[in-house]
Each structure stands twice: as structure tokens, then as C-alpha cells.
């Protein structure tokens, strides 16, 4: 086993980690903003809003992210008005921006569905209690609906974030040298796919492990009411004593 080759590959791929994280961060950040808007549209009483969000989810959840990315990066630049637009062109000619846009649009579809489900799962009685105590719609949402819905959404949301981490690898197909792009270049140069791809895979694994741990910690902190009460906590042993 060529230990030095592993080390140098690991180092080269790790140097691309910041770029991967950059795509990841902006993708999920903008995605969250769009998803919030979509959820709000869906929850409002406007029929048009409901149709729009349904169509949006149908399109962006139903087609591969790779297709969406290609359409945005290669497809949109075919249109003259895109190339001549002072706002669109600076964004759509840059592969980095295109990846972020594709990821944000794609994840927003999934997230809006996650949020919609979480909002619907908030117990009606607790919202009614908030109404009965004279809380305004906004106060009700802030104090009762949102905190409960967030806890309900968290497990599915963390899965979506992990899917997005892996999706950043697609950026390599539009010339971005993030971790996957870098790994592929080394692979082409050295013809040693096993070593190179193992390195990349291990880094992705560790990255997702930390993300999962962070979400698990947040979930734990946010749901003391779903754990057993204090005096029962010692009584419940994770493993039965007599085996």
C-alpha cells in the first residue's frame, strides 16, 4: 500500500473541502429561504399559491438534480434574453452560482414538503389553547406552532441536509474543482481510482457524520419533553441487565 500516495491525495482533496462547504452552505441557505416562502404560500388560503407550490414540488422533486443543473448551466444560456440580462447573466454564466441555484431550487422542493408535513402535525388542541388565551396569529405561530413544528421537522430536515452534502459532488460536472472534481482530476492523472475515490469517500463520510451528530445534538436539546421524566431516567437502562 502506497501510504504516501494516500496522504498526498487526502491532502489535495481536503484542500477542496472549503469550496465544497461553500456550495453546500449557500445551497442550503438559499434553499431554506425559498422553502420558507413556498411553505408560507402553501399554507395560505390562496388557491393560486397552492397550485404554484404543487407544480414547483412536482417539477423539482420529480426530476434529477443533474438534469436541473445541466438545464440551468448549459440550457439557459441558449436564450438571448438571458445572455443580455444584466442580472441573470452574471449569475448564470458562473458554474459556481449555477450549482448553488440548482441546489437551492431542488432542496427547497423537498424542504417545503417537510415543513408542510410538520406544520400539519402540530396538535390542533395546542393551537386552540393559544387562540383561547387571546394570542394573535403571529404570537401563536411564534410561541406554539413554530417551536413544535421545528422539532417535528428536524429529523427529516437533517436527512435532506445530508443528501445536499452528497449532492455537492455534482458540481464537478460543471467544471468546479471541489472535492469530487479534485478527486476526479487526480484519478485521471494517476489512474489509481481505488485510492483516490476512497479518500474522497472517507472525507464525505466524516463530513456527514459530523452533520448528523450536530443535528442529533440539536434535536436532543430541543426535545426534553419527549424524553422520560427526570426520576425515571435512571430506571430505564439501554441494555437489559439480565441477558
Partner 1 sequence: MSANVAAAAKAAPSSGETPAISVKDLRKCFGDHEVLKGISLEAHKGDVISILGSSGSGKSTMLRCINLLETPDSGEVRVDGELIKMKRSRDGHQMPADIRQVERIRANLAMVFQSFNLWSHMTVLENLVAAPTHVLKRPRAECLEQAEALLKRVGIWERRNYFPPHMSGGQQQRAAIARALAMNPKVMLFDEPTSALDPELVGEVLRVMRSLAEEGRTMLVVTHEMSFARDVSSKVMFLHKGEVDSVGEPKEMFARPPTPQFKQFIANFNK
Contacts to partner 1 by CB under 8 A: 123, 125-126, 128-137, 139, 143-144, 147-148, 151, 223-226, 228-230
Distance in Å, CB of 219 to partner 1, minimum: 13
Is the CB of 226 or the CB of 242 nearer to partner 1?
226
Closest approach of Cβ 166 to partner 1, in Å?
A: 32
**Other Cβ atoms closer than 10 A to 231:** 7
Q: What size, in residues, is the chain?
A: 243
User: How far apart are alpha carbons 167 and 179 in whole angstroms?
Assistant: 12
Question: Closest separation between CB of residue 40 and partner 1, Å?
Answer: 19
What's the min distance (Å) between Cβ of 190 and partner 1?
Answer: 54
Name the residue nearer to partner 1 (CB basis): 137 or 209.
137
Q: For partner 1, give the closer residue by CB, 84 or 225.
A: 225
Which lies closer to partner 1 via its Cβ, residue 11 or residue 220? Answer: 220
Query: Which one, 100 or 130, has the nearer CB to partner 1?
Result: 130
CB of 134 to partner 1, least distance (A): 3
Query: What minimum distance in Å lies between the beta carbon of 212 and partner 1?
Result: 23
Closer by beta carbon to partner 1, 13 or else 148: 148
Closer residue to partner 1, CB minimum distance, 93 or 151: 151
For residues 72 and 92, the answer to whether their CB atoms sit within 8 Å is yes
Q: How far is the CB of 45 from partner 1 (least distance, A)?
A: 12
**Residue 77 burial (10 A CB sphere; 0-12, 13-18, 19+):** middle
Amino acid at each position: 500500500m502506497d501510504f504516501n500516495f494516500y496522504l498526498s491525495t487526502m491532502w489535495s482533496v481536503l484542500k477542496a473541502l472549503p469550496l465544497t462547504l461553500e456550495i453546500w452552505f449557500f445551497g442550503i441557505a438559499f434553499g431554506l429561504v425559498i422553502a420558507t416562502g413556498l411553505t408560507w404560500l402553501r399554507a395560505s388560503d390562496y388557491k393560486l399559491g397552492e397550485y404554484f407550490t404543487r407544480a414547483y414540488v412536482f417539477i423539482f422533486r420529480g426530476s434529477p438534480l443533474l438534469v436541473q443543473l445541466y438545464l440551468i448551466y448549459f440550457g439557459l444560456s441558449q436564450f438571448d434574453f438571458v445572455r443580455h440580462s444584466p442580472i441573470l447573466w452574471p449569475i448564470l454564466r458562473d458554474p459556481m452560482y449555477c450549482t448553488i441555484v440548482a441546489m437551492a431550487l431542488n432542496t427547497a422542493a423537498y424542504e417545503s414538503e417537510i415543513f408542510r408535513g410538520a406544520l400539519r402535525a402540530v396538535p390542533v388542541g395546542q393551537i386552540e389553547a393559544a387562540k383561547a388565551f387571546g394570542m394573535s396569529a403571529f404570537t401563536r405561530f411564534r410561541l406554539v406552532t413554530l417551536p413544535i413544528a421545528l422539532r417535528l421537522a428536524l429529523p427529516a430536515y437533517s436527512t435532506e441536509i445530508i443528501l445536499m452534502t452528497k449532492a455537492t459532488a455534482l458540481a464537478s460536472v460543471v467544471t468546479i474543482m471541489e472535492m469530487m472534481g479534485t478527486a476526479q482530476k487526480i484519478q485521471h492523472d494517476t489512474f489509481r481510482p481505488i485510492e483516490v475515490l476512497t479518500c474522497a469517500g472517507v472525507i464525505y463520510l466524516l463530513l456527514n457524520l459530523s452533520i448528523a451528530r450536530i443535528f442529533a445534538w440539536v434535536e436532543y436539546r430541543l426535545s426534553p419533553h419527549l424524553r422520560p421524566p427526570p426520576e425515571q431516567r435512571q430506571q430505564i437502562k439501554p441494555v437489559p441487565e439480565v441477558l
